[in-house]
Amino acid sequence: MSEGSGIAPESIILEVVWGAPLRGPAMAQERLNRSDGDRTPSEAWTPSRSDGPTVSEQSNLDDPLVALGVEHPIWDRFFMINPLVLIGTRELDGSWNLAPKHMATALGWENFFGFVCTPAHSTWENARREGCFTVSFPRPSQVLMASLAAAPRCGHGEKPALDALATRAATVVDGVLLDDAYLHLECETYRIVDGFGDNSLITGRIVEALVAESSLRYEDRDDEQAVFEAPLLAYLHPGRWAEISHSFAFPFHRGWTR
């Protein structure tokens, strides 16, 4: 986020965006106390009420920091939240490949997207050779499909598990996307930046984007309601995933701009 102008840290004024109401820790704790069996998709969404942003009373002063050292990669020593996407490319033999990636993100505020990949994977070569790729954002109900896309290849390089995935054709680029994913991006390969150890950053210019109506933001719909009714899939590296259905308005200070 960009910094505000001329506002001292001690005088920052928090501003609540009531289009996406905040909820206090009591509501969050109530959700945690409920059993998994009680959390059903059929729950009716009701707007929450709050007098404003709240600050947790729990102090982290008794949680000391641990030096990890950088002689080896650090990323398996703690959890980080990431998206989970399936990158679609065409193989050299003309078949389609869908590969799960979690190091993936928008690049700036314009229509660019990028993901990390190694030249040892066919996705890297496919995106370079074909000049395009697709991006599918699965729903939480499709986490097993994402797992199937990560299945190892057979002796001749085939991935039979991909046959179990329902796909649809892209509309602009030459590619396929995971059927029923809530967000589809079609990209023309823009630049491939090497040098991140054994990995590269593959970037693309988005030339088509389709989103499920249930996940679409619009003015007369509360953002909190949208996330509740169309939960998001998150990958918690290493090796865990989560369904995000509850969210809170971020307390931007007055005068903040991007």
115-137 per-position pLDDT tens digit: 999 999 999 999 999 999 999 99
pLDDT number for residue 249: 93
CATH class entry, domain 80-215: mainly beta
**Given the structure tokens 């703690």, which residue do they identify?**
78
In total, the chain counts a number of residues equal to 258
SS3 62: coil
User: What is the Cα–Cα distance from 203 to 205, expressed in whole angstroms?
Assistant: 7
95: number of CA atoms within 13 Å, CB side?
A: 10
pLDDT tens per residue, range 18-41:
333 334 344 444 444 444 444 444
Extents of the domains making up the chain = 80-215
- Is there a contact between 122 and 159 (Cβ–Cβ < 8 Å)? no
* Cβ atoms of residues 20 and 224 within 8 Å: yes
Written in H, E and C, the secondary structure of the chain is CCCCCCCCHHHCCECCCCCCCCCCHHHHHHHHHCCHHHCCCCCCCCCCCCCCCCCCCCCCCCCCCCCCCCCCCCCCCCCEEECCEEEEEECCCCCEEEEEECCEEECCCCCEEEEEECCCCHHHHHHHHHCEEEEEECCHHHHHHHHHHCCCCCCCCCCHHHHHCCEEECCCCCCEEECCCCEEEEEEEEEEEEEECCEEEEEEEEEEEEECHHHCCCCCCCHHHHHHHCCEEEEEECCEEEEECCCCCCCCECCCCC
For the cut 90, the answer to whether the pLDDT of residue 66 exceeds it is yes
Of the ranges 36-45, 155-164, 168-177, which one carries the lowest mean pLDDT score?
Answer: 36-45
The pLDDT value recorded for residue 162 is: 80
Tell me what pLDDT residue 63 has: 87
Residue 52's pLDDT is what?
45
